[in-house]
């Protein structure tokens, strides 16, 4: 019934209106040619597995919006950062929710980012012609996780932040002259610098990398399914692209709305953690879950700088994947060596994380560490009193 009614509807063109055969043009069509996004993509672009990258992107938007609001209440100076966070959550209406939402959205984004990577790896989507898309992805992982996520954990300036900052200093030492340049704290405290990076430099780098990533996804289109007759095909023939990019986008928005809606519920139920204020002593508090495997490596080597080696090794392992697994075949059943190697890496990371989570915290040696070693707050203490109260 409804269908018949719909098809029978004809518009009276009237004066200056388009003829009845021309579909009515909405504002978005008229001013933004939105129909150009209706280009064909494979039908599986609507499935959850193929919308994980898009859901990650929606998460960046959510983080940006909530971050801009948070920034209005946050004071990055080390002597005021902790109290400004406390003030936000205790006195500003909706402040605790806002902070928790940004916090939980960050965890959710890291999760979908990793799941997206896993899907791309499992389905061999890094193979030619999408190898450059993969390298943009590796750069995105490095920037999002070891840049944005890390700097975000330092800002609140509690004891965990302090320990994270000690690690950051150690990282700078391994970077030679670049580290010396970045770490010279004469005029600006390290955590003010990290705040600046968190809200300006890193989002800009992310936007540029995402632009490159999306451009490549657009021109190369989505890879065919890695199973069945298309598993060695680089691209689906045009007549088999039965979905559209608009449908793909609609699925992303639908799944994204559900996912970040659940994040909002989580944020309403569970506040973002805020540890004890900085004591001035390193306590080796365990890091957030995405960095636990690095903490485990430090436990085993006893050295803080092994964290840098861990990060570099992970990124290098990801970088060599397309170089080692060549050829057009993407079916996981025919790439058992690659899948087994991936499983070993994954199990190692999960195993290390579980080990770090269940063992008691340990102190890790770092160069020049001694009871009298100047800690970040002491060096900066010439200019600031770092104790938060
Ligand atoms: C900030 C993080 C990222 C965002 C926002 C993002 C976004 C996207 C989107 C929207 C797509 C197309 C739809 C989809 O496959 O889900 C895509 C595809 C792709 N991404 Fe990502 N991605 C990110 C990180 C990564 C990472 C870490 C890797 C791997 C190291 C990666 C590698 C790829 C590849 C190879 C494709 C093509 C997949 C195919 O055609 O089947 N991406 N990405």
CA–CA distance, 77 with 388 (Å, rounded to integer) = 9
**pLDDT greater than 60 at residue 13:** no
pLDDT of residue 384: 38
CA–CA distance, 380 with 163 (Å, rounded to integer) = 15
Residue 366: pLDDT band by 50, 70, 90 thresholds? low
Q: For residue 117, how far is its CA from the centre of ligand 1 (angstroms)?
A: 7
Q: Which residue has the tokens 């793909």?
A: 248
Which structure tokens are listed for 236?
């689906």
More confident residue, 253 or 18: 253
Mutate to test the pocket of ligand 1, among 39, 51, 53 (most ligand atoms within 8 A of CB): 53
Residue 376: pLDDT band by 50, 70, 90 thresholds? very low
Q: Provide the mean pLDDT of the chain.
A: 87
User: Residues lining ligand 1, judged by CB closer than 6 Å?
Assistant: 50-54, 56-57, 113, 116-117, 120, 125-126, 130, 133-134, 137-138, 140-141, 144, 210, 213, 217, 222-223, 318
CA–CA distance, 125 with 89 (Å, rounded to integer) = 43
Q: For residue 311, how far is its CA from the centre of ligand 1 (angstroms)?
A: 20
Domains and CATH numbers, the chain: 33-279 (1.20.810.10)
**pLDDT greater than 60 at residue 260:** yes
Q: For residue 294, how far is its CA from the centre of ligand 1 (angstroms)?
A: 24
Q: Which helix (H) or strand (E) holds 244?
A: strand 243-244
CB of 357 closer than 8 Å to CB of 286: yes
CB of 185 closer than 8 Å to CB of 104: no
Least confident range of 73-77, 182-186, 278-282: 182-186
Residue 108: pLDDT band by 50, 70, 90 thresholds? very high
pLDDT of residue 105: 98
pLDDT digits (tens, 9 = 90+) for 215-231: 999 999 999 999 999 99
pLDDT digits (tens, 9 = 90+) for 314-332: 999 999 999 999 999 999 9
pLDDT-above-90 percentage for the chain: 70
Mutate to test the pocket of ligand 1, among 49, 59, 123, 213 (most ligand atoms within 8 A of CB): 213
pLDDT digits (tens, 9 = 90+) for 109-167: 999 999 999 999 999 999 999 999 999 999 999 999 999 999 999 999 999 898 888 88
pLDDT of residue 205: 98
Q: What is the mean pLDDT of residues 360-389?
A: 47
What burial class does residue 323 get, using C-beta atoms within 10 Å of its C-beta: 0-12 exposed, 13-18 middle, 19+ buried? exposed
pLDDT of residue 387: 36
Q: What is the mean pLDDT of residues 27-55?
A: 95
pLDDT-above-70 percentage for the chain: 86
pLDDT of residue 281: 73
Which structure tokens are listed for 289?
């879950």
The one-character DSSP state at 372 is T
Q: For residue 252, how far is its CA from the centre of ligand 1 (angstroms)?
A: 13
Q: For residue 50, how far is its CA from the centre of ligand 1 (angstroms)?
A: 9
Residue 86: pLDDT band by 50, 70, 90 thresholds? very high
Q: Which residue has the tokens 């506040």?
A: 271
**Count, residues in the chain:** 389
Confidence (pTM):
0.88
Instruction: Compute φ and ψ for 303, nearest 5 degrees.
Output: -120, 140
What is the three-state SS of 107-151? HHHHHHHHHHHHHHHHCCCCCCCCHHHHHHHHHHHHHHHHHHHHH
Q: For residue 53, how far is its CA from the centre of ligand 1 (angstroms)?
A: 5
Pseudo-torsion of CA 213, 217, 220, 222, nearest 10°? 140
Highest mean pLDDT among 162-176, 213-227, 267-281: 213-227
pLDDT of residue 54: 98
Instruction: Compute φ and ψ for 276, nearest 5 degrees.
Output: -65, 155
Distances (CA, A) of 2 to 6, 7, 8, 10: 6, 9, 10, 15
CB of 28 closer than 8 Å to CB of 226: no
């Amino acid at each position: 019934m409804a269908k018949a009614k719909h098809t029978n509807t004809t518009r009276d063109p009237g004066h200056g209106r388009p003829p009845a055969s021309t579909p009515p043009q909405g504002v978005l069509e008229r001013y933004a040619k939105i129909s150009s996004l209706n280009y064909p993509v494979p039908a599986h672009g609507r499935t959850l597995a193929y919308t994980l990258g898009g859901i990650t992107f929606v998460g960046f938007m959510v983080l940006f919006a909530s971050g801009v609001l948070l920034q209005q209440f946050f004071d990055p100076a080390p002597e005021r950062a902790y109290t400004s966070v406390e003030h936000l959550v205790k006195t500003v209406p909706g402040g605790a929710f806002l902070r928790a939402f940004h916090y939980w959205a960050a965890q959710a984004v890291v999760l979908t980012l990793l799941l997206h990577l896993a899907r791309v790896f499992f389905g061999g989507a890094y193979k030619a012609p999408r190898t450059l898309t993969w390298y943009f992805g590796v750069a995105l992982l490095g920037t999002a996780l070891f840049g944005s996520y890390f700097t975000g954990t330092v800002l609140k300036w509690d004891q965990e932040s302090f320990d994270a900052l000690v690690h950051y200093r150690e990282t700078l030492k391994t970077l030679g002259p670049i580290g010396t340049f970045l770490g010279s704290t004469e005029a600006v405290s390290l955590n003010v610098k990290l705040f600046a990076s968190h809200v300006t430099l890193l989002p800009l780098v992310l936007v540029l990398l995402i632009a490159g990533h999306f451009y490549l996804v657009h021109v190369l289109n989505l890879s065919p399914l890695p199973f069945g007759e298309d598993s060695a095909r680089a691209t689906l023939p045009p007549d088999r692209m039965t979905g559209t990019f608009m449908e793909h986008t609609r699925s992303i928005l639908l799944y994204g709305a559900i996912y970040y809606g659940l994040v909002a519920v989580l944020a309403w139920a569970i506040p973002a953690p805020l540890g004890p204020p900085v004591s001035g002593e390193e306590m080796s508090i365990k890091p957030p879950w995405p960095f636990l495997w690095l903490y485990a490596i430090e436990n085993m080597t006893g050295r803080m700088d092994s964290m840098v080696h861990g990060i570099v090794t992970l990124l290098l392992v990801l970088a060599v994947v397309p170089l080692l697994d060549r050829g057009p075949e993407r079916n996981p059943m025919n790439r058992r060596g690659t899948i087994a190697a991936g499983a070993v890496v994954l199990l190692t990371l999960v195993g290390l994380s579980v080990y770090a989570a269940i063992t008691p915290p340990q102190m890790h040696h770092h160069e020049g560490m001694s009871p009298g070693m100047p800690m970040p707050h002491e060096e900066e203490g010439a200019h600031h009193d770092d104790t938060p109260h």
